[in-house]
Structure 1
Amino acid sequence: MSQLPEDKVQGEGDYNAGRRYDKATREFAESGKVEPAAHDAAPANQAEADELKKAEDIGKSHSKGEGSMVSDKRTAGDQR
């Protein structure tokens, strides 16, 4: 049975993939493209907003709830 070198850790994800994701996320956040992307992702109309809310409610119905680290006083504008 062969083992992977230590720098090729697999399972919960590998270190290189994590670093690539972190770098791409940081670059996007610093690019000034976040606000336009958020605007583009917003529901186009009330029917779409209702559909998204329904899907969210269905997803939450399967959840075990929020973790103890999440505040109950959170609002839609909070970035956590």
Structure 2
Amino acid sequence: MAQAKNEGEGSRTAAKAYNDKTTAFAQSGRVEEQAEKAKQSLANPAEAADLKAAEKAAKAHAKGEDPAVDTSIRR
């Protein structure tokens, strides 16, 4: 089995795969459908609480919010 090439800081291969899949999803015509599903999830109090708890847990592992992110537009 061949060993994966170390690409150093950041992975161009992973970045390309992410960009390709993100572009494919954006062009798939499913964006509105998925946005509506997310909106419905947030409208359900139990599901919204679960999602907020998961977000809080994920942020607990983060080094901090990206200063470029505009948090004033959040819910």
Please indicate the TM-score interval, normalised by the length of the shorter structure: 0.5 to 0.7
Q: Number of aligned pairs?
A: 69
The counterpart of 1:37, out of the listed 30, 34, 37, is: 34
Match of 1:28 in 2: 25
Percent pairwise identity: 41
Q: Report the TM-score, using the length of structure 2 for normalisation.
A: 0.58
Instruction: Tell me, in whole angstroms, the C-alpha distance in 1 between the residues paired with 2:74 and 2:35.
Output: 17
Is 2:48 the partner of 1:75?
no
Gap runs ≥5 in structure 2: none
User: Quick one: higher RCO (CA 8 Å, sep 6+), 1 or 2?
Assistant: 2
Q: RMSD value over aligned CA atoms?
A: 2.9
Within a 5 Å distance, the mapping from 1:1-80 to structure 2 comes to: 10-11=7-8, 12-13=10-11, 15-41=12-38, 42-43=40-41, 45-76=44-75
Aligned pair in 2 of structure 1 residues 74, 64: CA closer, same or farther (>3 Å)? farther
Q: CA deviation at 1:38?
A: 2.7
Gap runs ≥5 in structure 1: none
Asked which structure has the greater CA Rg, the reply is 1
Higher normalized helix content (fraction of residues): 2
